């Protein structure tokens, strides 16, 4: 009986690290957003909103399996984090 309850978890266990990575990247991107909000700079908020829409479109197009949904989230959060980092570097170079 205990083995039967563990089977659904084991089937999805391979996706957990990918989901955790996507969530971590989202948290890092939000650090940049809050930093710029404190400086009254709103471009990172717009960048995040654009990626949220792209993620929504990606999930609408690729949702045949949970693995596809997690992959869309991973890709979008990677690009979001890279975009926020790039904006941070650009902003910092303009301030110098």
Which band of pLDDT confidence, cut at 50, 70 and 90, is reported for residue 29?
very high
Instruction: Give the Å distances, CA to CA, from 37 to 25, 29, 80.
Output: 19, 13, 17
Instruction: List the one residue out of 15, 16, 83, 22 whose CA is nearest residue 49.
Output: 83
Contacts of 23 (CB under 8 A, 6+ apart): 77
- For residue 58 the two structure tokens come to 């990606």
Q: What percent of the chain has pLDDT over 70?
A: 91
What pLDDT was estimated at residue 57?
Answer: 98
What pLDDT was estimated at residue 49?
Answer: 98
What pLDDT was estimated at residue 7?
Answer: 65
Instruction: List the one residue out of 32, 38, 46 whose CA is nearest residue 82.
Output: 32
| Count of C-beta atoms within a 10 Å radius of residue 35 | 14
Quick check: 44 and 87 in contact, CB under 8 A?
A: yes
């Amino acid at each position: 009986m205990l083995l039967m309850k563990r089977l659904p978890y084991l089937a999805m266990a391979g996706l957990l690290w990918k989901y955790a990575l996507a969530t971590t990247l989202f948290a890092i991107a939000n650090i940049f957003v809050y930093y710029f909000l404190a400086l009254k700079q709103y471009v990172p908020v717009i960048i995040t909103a654009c990626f949220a829409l792209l993620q929504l479109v990606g999930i609408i197009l690729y949702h045949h399996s949970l693995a596809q949904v997690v992959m869309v989230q991973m890709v979008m959060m990677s690009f979001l984090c890279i975009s926020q980092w790039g904006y941070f570097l650009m902003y910092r170079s303009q301030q110098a």
